[in-house]
Copies of this chain bind each other. A is one copy, B any other.
Amino acid sequence: MGKLYGIGVGPGDSDLLTIRAVKTLEKLDVLYTPQAKKGGYSTAMNIVSEYLRDDLVIKERHFPMNYRDDEKIEAWDIISNEIESDVKDGLNVGFITLGDPMIYSTYVYILERLIDRIEVKTIPGISSFVNISSSNNFPLAMDMESLAVVSCTDDIGRIVEYMDNFDCLVLMKVYKNFKDIVGLIIDKGLNDKAIMVSNSSMASEVVYEDLASLMELDVVPYFSTILINKKWKIK
């Protein structure tokens, strides 16, 4: 019997892979990689490419981003069965995922199907918001302050509650209602306690130190994240 390795490859730079991820990549027989669109470019694949064996079998698959409907559930079932079969053939199988495998990753749909059927090892990675924090010298949470990681697709009333109750917040997926969110931040006097970063660790990265400037924009990139830290004095 082989094993399945779920490998977090970090936010974008190859040098944010862990040593364990690199060592694991080097011993794989088969690698399943996400193909966002047919023939599309895989960021995760680009991050790991320098560490792969020449004789590695690469299986590009389309991984649906969620499984709300039957068609998507079927797609995850098929991929899981394929992986199970490879592992039972004695192969070391890898599944790469951007950031950390356990934070908002589709890897969990594989994990929940296979955890009782084959041996699964999961290797943690640097998630995007953790990287944004370090890259910008903007702490996520100090002392023992509570930290909320929230999707802005959540109910706006709840987001207001989180902003009032938590000193430290990570606001993900701000692209849809960014004017509402930024408006809230300004109204609550938190503009000088917040930053927004779009396309973190990509060539197109933009850091917004003054969130008020966002109110003049019509759209912001899909990958945009706001960090708030009420206790951090320096921005």
The interface of chain A, by Cβ under 8 A from chain B, is 6, 8, 10, 13-20, 22-23, 66, 100-104, 108, 111-112, 115-116, 120, 122-127, 130-131, 133-135, 137-151, 153-154, 158, 161-162, 165-166, 172-173, 232-234
Chain B contacts of A116 at CB under 8 A?
A: 234
The 5 closest A-B pairs by CB, nearest first: A144-B151, A124-B134, A15-B20, A122-B134, A102-B133
Please pick, from B130, B154, B166, the residue contacting A102 in the complex, using a CB distance under 8 A: B130
In the bound complex, residues from chain B placing their C-beta under 8 Å from that of A103 are 130, 133, 139-141, 147
Are B149 and A137 interface neighbours, CB within 8 A? Answer: no
The 17 listed contacts between A and B (C-beta, < 8 Å) are A15-B18, A16-B19, A17-B19, A18-B126, A102-B139, A103-B141, A104-B144, A108-B232, A115-B137, A116-B234, A124-B130, A144-B151, A144-B153, A144-B172, A146-B154, A148-B148, A158-B165
Q: How far is the CB of A25 from chain B (nearest CB, A)?
A: 12
Give the docked Cα–Cα distance between A173 and B166 (Å). Answer: 18
- A137 in complex: contacting residue of B104, B111, B125, B165, CB < 8 Å: B111
Q: How close is A5's CB to chain B, nearest CB, in angstroms?
A: 11
Q: B18, A134: Cβ atoms under 8 Å?
A: no
Shortest C-beta distance, A226 to chain B (Å), equals: 14
Partner of A233 from the list B23, B112, B144, B150 (CB cut-off 8 Å) is: B112
Nearest chain B CB to A197 CB, angstrom units:
13
With contacts A18-B10, A147-B149 taken as known, whether A122 is within 8 angstroms of B135 at the C-beta atoms is yes
**Chain B residues, Cβ within 8 Å of A151:** 144-146
Complex partner residue of A104 from B20, B108, B134, B142, CB under 8 angstroms? B142
A173 proximity list for chain B (CB < 8 A) = 144
Assess the A123–B134 pair: CB atoms within 8 A: yes
- Chain B residues whose CB sits within 8 angstroms of the CB of A172 once the complex forms: 144
Partner of A18, one of B17, B23, B111, B158: B17
A120 nearest CB neighbor, chain B only: B137
